[in-house]
Amino acid sequence: MNTRTAARSAVLLAVMLTLTGVKPVFGDKQAYATLTNAEALIMLDQIEKDIKENYYDPSLHGVDLDKRFKEARAKITVAKTQDDALLQIAAAVGVLNDSHTGFVPPVRPYSVDYGFRMQAVGDSDCYVTQVRQGSDAEAKGLKRGDRIVSINGLSLVRQDIHNVEYGYRVFPQSGFHLNVRSPEGPEQALTVLAKVTPGQKMISKSDFLEWIAVPRTKEDWDRMFGQGNQSQFFEVEKKVLFWKLPSFFVYPKDLEDQAHKARSFQNVVLDLRGNLGGRVDALDAFLGAFFERDITVGVDRGRKGSKPIVIKGRGKSAIGGKLIVLIDSNSSSAAEIFSRVIQLEKKGTILGDRSSGRVMKSERFVHAVSLNPRFVTQYSSEITVGDLIMNDGKSLEGVGVMPDERVLPTPADLAVGRDPVLARAAALAGVEMTPEKAGSIFTFKWPEKPIEID
């Protein structure tokens, strides 16, 4: 492991406490604070226990976890706010520099909408990709295609964007100080306020115990992940099927039913841009739908040893024809594994940007701290339990998938909604399509409310 990268990953989270930025949600009053420093220490101890008992590498890559968590305990003991304490937990876990190992803080009794989305494009710069209509971001003049030079005083580059976004989920802000540069203008400073909506309910002890005891059903998954994650399709006769798959948080049978639609087309353009991954069994079912024979994806290296991952093919019912897969810097986990298998097996062509390099196998361990005799606050750890070594002998973690043909939107493309990547895919599939037309095929939909795991 690159120790300099690991140190930067952990420091990025802690440094957010000292940056001169907009105050945390509700300022110094901490109107919804419910945790004491002692309760935060209970969380820290439990997260450390989860890591030591479940992390796939018992040696922890040589990281001195005891030392890092001891430092966190000292800081939490004197923390002045709940947010300070929670961020110290996240920073302690961050020393592992592992994309799938982290602290999932308690659900706040409010939601925070910053009014814009940002994304890395290429190897360095980060750009605004969406601005919500009616938001303060729109009112202040933030636009798609604007490059975010810095956020709350922290220079923003590709290698840091995921840690920055994670840090502001743990430590919500009432807004951001941004330095931005438009495609054809000078750099300017903007203060963009968030929309804060109270209303999350507290969790009773009986609710928590029921959550632990009862297996998650299909209806639970649909409720938690279905909104905003449905596939979108666009057909050009029976020649090309354009398929936007936003997530692998899908029941395997549902995904196989969708895949059946693709079997009657000569060409399939599968858009996995922005797909953050999801269920392992959904990925297995989906991969198998594209192969006649059984294939070995790679080796799952876990705490108790290694085992090959074999996907069962579908014989003559497998999806045939030409396959073109689109990825970008937000394509993660299962989306990256799918793309790399297609690439290694020479089953299709990969277009777009280098993927995120966030590819590990993880499990979630849910816990609770009692607030009073009736209510608890629920939190969890996400722990990497396996590292996938692909058939070329390499891991995708921290590296990602490099497309066969790298096609990147320019800031001007982002500003007006052109999609040169999808247009290029259409050309490879034998269909003439302008970037302007390509940009109108799949619509972006803001979620009505944040996705929560309850």
**The pLDDT of residue 170 is above 50:** yes
Higher-pLDDT residue of 107, 85: 85
Same domain membership, residue 375 and residue 258: no
Strands (E), 165-304: 175-181, 187-193, 195-198, 203-204, 232-236, 240-244, 267-271, 295-302
For residues 311-338, average pLDDT: 95
Same domain membership, residue 300 and residue 430: yes
Is the residue at 27 inside a domain?
no
Which one of 165, 197, 229 terminates a domain?
Answer: 197
Judged by average pLDDT, the poorest of 17-31, 170-184, 419-433 is 17-31
**The pLDDT of residue 447 is above 60:** yes
Same domain membership, residue 333 and residue 369: no
Q: Is the dihedral of CA 234, 235, 240, 241 positive or negative?
A: positive
Is the residue at 434 inside a domain?
yes
The kind and range of the H/E element at 73 are helix 65-77
Give whichever of 157-171, 309-323, 375-389, 402-416 has the largest mean pLDDT: 402-416
Is the residue at 10 inside a domain?
no
CB of 153 closer than 8 Å to CB of 21: yes
pLDDT reported for residue 1: 44
Judged by average pLDDT, the poorest of 85-94, 205-214, 228-237, 378-387 is 205-214
pLDDT reported for residue 15: 52
pLDDT reported for residue 227: 42
Torsion angle (degrees, nearest 10) of CA 90, 10, 99, 306? -100
Same domain membership, residue 290 and residue 271: yes
Which one of 145, 165, 197 terminates a domain?
Answer: 197
Same domain membership, residue 346 and residue 318: yes
Is the residue at 28 inside a domain?
no
Is the residue at 449 inside a domain?
no
Q: Give the max Cα distance, the chain.
A: 66
How much is the CA Rg of the chain, to the nearest whole Å? 22
Is the residue at 281 inside a domain?
yes
Same domain membership, residue 322 and residue 238: yes
pLDDT reported for residue 378: 85
**The pLDDT of residue 139 is above 60:** yes
Domain of residue 56: give its range.
33-107+360-385
Same domain membership, residue 238 and residue 99: no
Same domain membership, residue 122 and residue 190: yes
pLDDT reported for residue 32: 42
Mean pLDDT of the chain: 86
Same domain membership, residue 240 and residue 319: yes
> Tell me, what CATH number does 302's domain have?
3.90.226.10
Q: Hunting for tokens 């209509």 — which residue is that?
A: 133
Is the residue at 317 inside a domain?
yes
Provide the terminal-to-terminal Cα distance of the chain, rounded to the nearest Å: 34
- As a whole number of angstroms, the distance between CA 83 and CA 21 comes to 15
Q: Which of the 8 DSSP states describes residue 61?
A: G
> Tell me, what CATH number does 143's domain have?
2.30.42.10
pLDDT reported for residue 216: 59
User: Which of 176, 178, 171 is closest to 106 using CA atoms?
Assistant: 171
- As a whole number of angstroms, the distance between CA 185 and CA 16 comes to 29
pLDDT reported for residue 256: 84
User: Which of 210, 89, 188 is closest to 142 using CA atoms?
Assistant: 188
Domain count, the chain: 3
CB of 239 closer than 8 Å to CB of 265: yes
Same domain membership, residue 145 and residue 82: no
Q: Which of the 8 DSSP states describes residue 333?
A: T
Instruction: Assign 297 a pLDDT band (cuts: 50, 70, 90).
Output: very high
> Under the phi-then-psi rule, with left for phi > 0, alpha for psi from -120 to 50, and beta for the rest, what region is 346?
left
- The CA–CA distances, whole Å, from 223 to 165, 229, 256, 308 equal 24, 11, 20, 33
Give the pairing of strands 405-406 and 349-352.
Answer: parallel
At residue 217's C-alpha, the angle toward residues 385 and 98, to 5°, is 20
- The CA–CA distances, whole Å, from 37 to 45, 88, 93, 232 equal 12, 11, 18, 46
User: Which of 442, 344, 352, 345 is closest to 396 using CA atoms?
Assistant: 344
pLDDT reported for residue 19: 46
Q: Which two tokens stand for residue 414?
A: 């982002």
pLDDT reported for residue 35: 84
Same domain membership, residue 248 and residue 234: yes
pLDDT reported for residue 382: 95
- As a whole number of angstroms, the distance between CA 102 and CA 116 comes to 24
pLDDT tens digits, residue range 340-368? 999 999 999 999 999 999 999 999 998 98
- As a whole number of angstroms, the distance between CA 61 and CA 73 comes to 22
**The pLDDT of residue 418 is above 80:** yes
pLDDT reported for residue 17: 47
- The CA–CA distances, whole Å, from 51 to 63, 70, 94, 248, 264 equal 12, 15, 12, 25, 47
pLDDT reported for residue 440: 96
For residues 73-80, average pLDDT: 95
Instruction: Assign 275 a pLDDT band (cuts: 50, 70, 90).
Output: very high
Is the residue at 206 inside a domain?
no
Q: Which two tokens stand for residue 76?
A: 């939490």
pLDDT tens digits, residue range 208-241? 666 555 555 656 655 555 544 589 999 998 899 9
Give the pairing of strands 267-271 and 295-302.
Answer: unpaired
Higher-pLDDT residue of 447, 332: 332
- As a whole number of angstroms, the distance between CA 175 and CA 189 comes to 13
pLDDT reported for residue 373: 73
pLDDT reported for residue 372: 73
pLDDT tens digits, residue range 185-199? 889 999 999 998 886
Q: What percent of the chain shows pLDDT beyond 90?
A: 64
Higher-pLDDT residue of 252, 118: 118
Same domain membership, residue 79 and residue 101: yes
For residues 99-124, average pLDDT: 90
> Under the phi-then-psi rule, with left for phi > 0, alpha for psi from -120 to 50, and beta for the rest, what region is 141?
left
Q: Hunting for tokens 């009616």 — which residue is that?
A: 134
